[in-house]
Amino acid sequence: MPEPFAETLATVAAGRTALVTRLRAIAARLEALPLDTAAEVLVLLEPATAAWEREAALALERAPADR
């Protein structure tokens, strides 16, 4: 039976991989758009992106660096 930490770590790793994949897919779709259309999309995404960046920065500051 795996240790709880190892199981949790595997779950987190899978989630991280899935999130990175999703973000890359969004970026690829944006890069494929004409510049004027991409600008319209980015204007709509900016508030959510800024909030997500703030939350991510806070979480990363709190994350232990030794693992």
Q: Taking CA 29 as the corner, what is the angle to CA 27 and CA 32, rounded to the nearest 5 degrees?
A: 110
10 and 38 inside one domain: no
1 and 14 inside one domain: yes
For residue 19, what are the domain limits?
1-32
Neighbours of 9 (CB within 10 A): 13
What are 13-65's pLDDT values in tens digits? 888 888 899 999 999 999 999 999 999 999 999 999 999 999 989 988 988 87
What pLDDT sits at residue 10? 80
Number of independent structural domains in the chain = 2
39 and 67 inside one domain: yes
